[in-house]
Homo-oligomer: A and B are copies of this chain.
Amino acid sequence: MPRYKSADRERLVAEARRRLLDAALGEFAAQGYAGANINHISLAAGFAQGTVYNYYPSKRALFAAVIGDIAARQGELVLQGAASAPTPAMRLERFLAAGLAFAQGFPAAARLVAATLYGADAEARALAQHAYEPLASYVTKEIVLAGQQEGTFRTVDAELAGAAIMALYLCGCTAHGAPLRANPRAAAALILEGLRRGT
């Protein structure tokens, strides 16, 4: 009978989970979900093999927790950054800047999210899509649609524009993405003004 579940206990549990999430993020980002070794994660977190299972009931559950954790942290940061801007154009710029800063600060997390969203594992993909739904819908509604209603954005298909922005945003951390990361302001300008020289 747990006598009162001291705050101490809870803090220890939270810290153990933190260590596991961090170790898991590293492993999943480096090896992919299928390639990750759950015992390595446990050992990397400073536990014995099998101790993960005292905190998460399965590899999948641990993975879900990792993705959820990333999405929450990134969402908070990014939406906070963008929300305070008065115009849709500025929100776009801040959105990209905050997101790409996150990718720069936590490259493993960014890589893992992209790998999951564009990977073959349907279950994992659904999970990540669900976790990133708030960000995606923020872009579509508060940036693209808002700019169109305000009259400063062209009336292109909002979904199309949203998908394009999300693609840039999510790929800003991998492969061909280095220039995006290095220059979020220019990326925003590119989206706003397009490639063609104005008349």
Contact of A187 among B120, B152, B164 (CB under 8 A): B164
The answer to whether residues A119 and B121 also contact, given A160-B179, A187-B164, A191-B195 and a CB cut-off of 8 A, is no
- Contact yes or no, A179 B163, CB < 8 A: yes
Chain A residue total in the interface (Cβ 8 A): 68
Instruction: Kindly report which residue of chain B lies nearest to residue A189, judged by CB atoms.
Output: B156
Residues of B within 8 A of A171 (CB): 118, 163, 167, 170-171
Residues of B within 8 A of A167 (CB): 167-168, 171-172, 176-177, 180
The answer to whether residues A176 and B189 also contact, given A115-B118, A119-B115, A199-B198 and a CB cut-off of 8 A, is no
Contact of A112 among B35, B120, B179, B189 (CB under 8 A): B120
Answer yes or no: A63 CB below 8 A from chain B CBs.
no
Residues of B within 8 A of A1 (CB): 46, 48
Residues of B within 8 A of A156 (CB): 186, 189-190, 195
Residues of B within 8 A of A111 (CB): 118, 120
Contact of A35 among B34, B168, B175, B180 (CB under 8 A): B34
